[in-house]
Amino acid sequence: MNKAQYAAMLKDISETHKQGGDTHNCILKYLEKYKYAYIYNDTIFKILFGNPENMEMTANFLNAILKLDGGDCIDNLTFVNPTVNSAFSKTTTSDIVAENQRLERIVLEVQHVEDETYSDRLVFYTAKHTIASKVRGDSYWLRDLNLISLQMFNGFPDSKNYRHSIRLKNQDNEEFFKKQTVTLVEIPKFIKGNYASDQSLLAQWLRVIDGLNNEAPIDVPKDSLFALLQKKAELSIFTEEFLVSEAMAMSDRLYEMYVEKKHARAEGLAEGRAEGRAEGRAEGHSEGFAEGHSEGVAEGHREMAKAMLAEGDSVEKVVRISKLPEAEILAFKESLTQSK
């Protein structure tokens, strides 16, 4: 299933659960309709590629992204923040963080939203993991760091390349520091572009994932790691407890609401007015309109604020955009921290 279908399923499960309905049959309906989960969902992605039992698959995927071969290949991974397929297993970060056999750190994550801070976030993550890669007992010696961003948008729209390797260089394009590399993979550019002739390992992985997201798995060798992903990504493997937990957290729904309502003050006001009019008519007096309008606007702003906090935006920025009291934003942030 694709992102919209996965989010719609979570919404349906959540509403069914909240209303005391038959959650089992609700989930069964989607199991009959879809065979695969949405791979690029943060939690699904972590379960597939951040689980120690799938280490060989993840190593192959990383080798493909980083174009490693021969003696440079990743043979073994140790996960710094391992993930398991169960409910309530989320960590405090959406990253997959691992170290290879040379103790070099690799960070892999999915970036869904292009905004004015996405590059800042990547630089911040790079700095954070650079500090974590410091060799103990030596004041400055750092291990190699590879930070990988699978992007659901094009960071370099004018470039024909869908994979970009970024390092510190001088004005003559000479590398200053080789131990720190940021690799961007633009998923939409690859999917929509003319890359049929690209038979690289990375291209093969991206085609396999895209096939699953479109419920059209491509033919792969029976015992290959591609086949393993196709098996691990089957929706039926994820327990009802896990799906209900995901649905109640509604991480993707909030995420999408933030994307769609990034500049949503006007839309929130319109929704509030609509709710106010409906409630006013039901009550038969103007107080209903005022109350519904106010509550509708406030609720829209609260949902947007929670989504922004989940994305890592600062309290100051959320207060500025949502127009909610700082105390309320701090309470949302505390609740979000406790739920992870």
Asked if residue 317 and residue 225 are part of one domain, the reply reads: no
Is there a domain that residue 92 lies in? yes
Domains identified in the chain, total number: 2
Q: Supply the pLDDT for residue 290.
A: 46
243, 13 in Cβ contact below 8 A?
yes
Is there a domain that residue 51 lies in? yes
Asked if residue 267 and residue 204 are part of one domain, the reply reads: no
Given 194, 217, 233, the domain boundary residue is 233
Asked if residue 206 and residue 125 are part of one domain, the reply reads: yes
| CA pair distance 108, 295, nearest whole angstrom | 40
Asked if residue 280 and residue 144 are part of one domain, the reply reads: no
**Nearest Cα residue to 253 out of 79, 41, 21:** 41
Asked if residue 308 and residue 218 are part of one domain, the reply reads: no
Asked if residue 335 and residue 283 are part of one domain, the reply reads: yes
Is there a domain that residue 84 lies in? yes
Q: Supply the pLDDT for residue 282.
A: 47
**Nearest Cα residue to 143 out of 92, 94, 107:** 107
Domain that holds residue 334: 261-339
Q: Supply the pLDDT for residue 268.
A: 46
Asked if residue 266 and residue 220 are part of one domain, the reply reads: no
Q: Supply the pLDDT for residue 81.
A: 76
Q: Supply the pLDDT for residue 130.
A: 87
Sign of the CA dihedral with 64 first, then 67, 73, and 79 last: negative
pTM: 0.72
Is there a domain that residue 248 lies in? no
Is there a domain that residue 31 lies in? no
Asked if residue 276 and residue 222 are part of one domain, the reply reads: no
Q: Tens of pLDDT along the chain (340 residues)?
A: 999 999 999 999 999 998 999 999 999 999 999 999 999 998 999 999 999 999 999 999 999 999 999 999 999 999 987 765 544 344 445 479 999 999 999 999 999 888 778 888 889 888 888 888 888 777 788 899 999 999 999 999 999 999 999 999 999 999 999 999 999 999 999 999 989 999 999 999 999 999 999 999 999 999 999 999 999 999 999 999 999 988 887 644 454 554 444 444 444 444 444 445 444 444 454 444 344 445 555 666 787 788 778 777 788 878 877 778 888 888 888 877 766 5
Asked if residue 293 and residue 207 are part of one domain, the reply reads: no
Is there a domain that residue 7 lies in? no
Given 214, 233, 252, the domain boundary residue is 233
Asked if residue 106 and residue 64 are part of one domain, the reply reads: yes
Asked if residue 223 and residue 87 are part of one domain, the reply reads: yes
| CA pair distance 256, 248, nearest whole angstrom | 15
Is there a domain that residue 211 lies in? yes
Given 233, 253, 288, the domain boundary residue is 233
Asked if residue 158 and residue 73 are part of one domain, the reply reads: yes
158, 164 in Cβ contact below 8 A?
no
Q: How many CB atoms lie within 10 A of CB 302?
A: 16
Is there a domain that residue 319 lies in? yes
| CA pair distance 251, 243, nearest whole angstrom | 12
